């Protein structure tokens, strides 16, 4: 899986399809993401944005099509004869360890402090000692501006703070690729900016990011490329400035007009 410049893509998706019963959510998705590229994914509710991200991380298994992460198929392993077979849970966990995922609704442990939520993943997945895990956890909380809230529990934090804890937890795992599934959709409007600021800072550091979002200004200002999913396919994609300045399809024009109010 190499590009024209012999650089292995961070993510390579070919003819990805996924249905839920009779509902065909992803009809044929083809996407190549370069290392360090920031991709924003736009689309109406139910267009398949979240399903696409979940397939990349194998939280949802596609019906057909291939997904490669840095040249390696996710969800599958090669047997002794070089043939692909479905990955077992241990192999899949190793593959997922390279992919960070931030959910819409934070997915924090309610009985653990902010520090504990970040440190637990390091102790369980990376088998770190408690002291080392808590040291790294505090560094990551500091990075997202939450050092002063390290001992607070999720139910005492604002939505924006909870989402920043979730981002700190992802950062602690040092993923190669970061997936964000509508990370601001569950937030009060006044809390959206603090999460957006953290994501902009991550993009500036050169992380590979795929972000399903409805925040048009963020996509315009931060993404390298924006894609528009409509009726199960990528209906339009372009560099961010071109995407918003010169939409080519009537569906995208109508979507941008509606989202812009």
Q: Could you report the per-residue pLDDT of 223-243, keeping only the tens digit for each?
A: 999 999 999 999 999 999 999
pLDDT of residue 253: 95
The whole-model pTM stands at 0.93
Mean pLDDT along residues 240-260: 94
Give all strands (DSSP E) within the chain, no chain letters.
11-20, 23-33, 38-42, 64-69, 72-73, 76-78, 84-86, 99-102, 177-181, 208-212, 225-230, 233-239
What are 92-114's pLDDT values in tens digits? 888 888 899 999 989 999 999 99
40-37-228 Cα angle (round to 5): 25
For 22-79, how does the pLDDT look when each residue is reduced to its tens digit (9 = 90+)? 999 999 999 999 999 999 999 998 899 999 999 999 999 999 999 999 998 998 887 7
Q: Per-residue confidence at 5, pLDDT binned at 50, 70, 90?
A: low
């Amino acid at each position: 899986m190499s590009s024209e410049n012999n650089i292995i893509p961070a993510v390579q998706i070919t003819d990805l399809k996924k249905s839920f019963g009779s509902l065909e959510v992803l009809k044929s998705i083809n996407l190549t993401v370069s290392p360090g590229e920031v991709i924003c994914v736009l689309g109406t509710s139910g267009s398949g944005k979240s399903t696409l991200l979940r397939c990349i991380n194998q939280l949802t298994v596609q019906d057909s099509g291939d997904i490669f992460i840095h040249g390696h198929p996710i969800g599958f392993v090669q047997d002794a004869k070089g043939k692909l077979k479905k990955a077992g849970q241990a192999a899949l966990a190793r593959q997922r360890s390279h992919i960070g995922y931030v959910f819409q609704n934070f997915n924090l442990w309610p009985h653990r402090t902010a520090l504990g939520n970040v440190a637990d993943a390091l102790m369980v997945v990376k088998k770190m000692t408690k002291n080392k895990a808590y040291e790294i956890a505090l560094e990551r909380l500091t990075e997202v501006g939450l050092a002063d809230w390290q001992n607070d529990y999720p139910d005492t934090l604002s939505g924006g703070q909870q989402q920043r804890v979730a981002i700190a937890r992802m950062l602690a795992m040092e993923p190669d690729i970061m997936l964000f599934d509508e990370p601001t959709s569950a937030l009060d409007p006044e809390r959206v900016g603090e999460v957006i600021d953290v994501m902009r800072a991550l993009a500036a550091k050169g992380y590979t990011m795929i972000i399903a979002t409805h925040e048009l200004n963020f996509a315009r200002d931060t993404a390298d490329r924006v894609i528009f999913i409509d009726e199960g396919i990528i209906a339009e994609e372009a560099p961010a400035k071109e995407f918003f300045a010169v939409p080519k399809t009537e569906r995208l024009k109508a979507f941008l007009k509606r989202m812009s109010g």
